[in-house]
Amino acid sequence: MATPTTAPGIVLLAREELGVVEITRNRAPRIAKYWQATDYPEGEAAREPWCAAFVAWLVLMVLGPFANRPRSAAVRLWVPAALRLRWLVFGPRDGLYFPRSGDIVVFTFSHIGIVEGFDGETVRTIEGNTDDAGGREGTKVCRRRRPLSACKSFIRLPEVAKP
């Protein structure tokens, strides 16, 4: 029997990437791989911030290479792309929907990550291009705790059944 795997799958995959670190500013072999999932693969050579490339790669890995999906390396384009795809997009105080493990979170400070958990006021995330202090221009893939007030939007991926 097929079971939905998108949300748990993206979180498990993100956890496997914890600790990926830049070798030089915004560059490393693993980070180059993230850029290939975007519409801007030369972003790594240009030493651009890579948080959206990280999320694009995670989405590619769980939805597959033929899925219609956001490919933007620009955080600001993720919500419009998700809306065009008719994915569920909601705000932090929506009242109808609440963040859950596997959602994509777009922050108010031009940064993006994957929700690992939510306790009502704090979102636990896995983010690329951050650091131990929680910066949006960091050096690695880290777990973060962010207040709900730092969240602009949440994007829920469609469930994909896998045998």
15: CATH = 3.90.1720.10
Cβ atoms of residues 155 and 87 within 8 Å? yes
Helix, strand or coil, per DSSP, at residue 149? helix
Number of domains in the chain: 1
Looking at residue 4, its pLDDT comes to: 44
Beta strands per DSSP E along the chain:
3-4, 88-90, 104-107, 112-118, 122-130, 140-147, 151-156, 161-162
Q: In this structure, is residue 8 part of a structural domain? A: yes
Q: What is the pLDDT of residues 110-129, one digit of tens each?
A: 999 999 999 999 999 999 99
Read off the pLDDT of residues 7-16 as tens digits, 9 standing for 90 and up: 889 999 999 9
Q: Which structural domain range is residue 65 located in?
A: 3-158
Q: How far apart are CA 98 and CA 90, in angstroms?
A: 8
Could you tell me if residue 163 is inside a domain? no
Residue 42 per-residue DSSP state: G
Tokens of 19: 């600790």
Whole-prediction pTM: 0.94
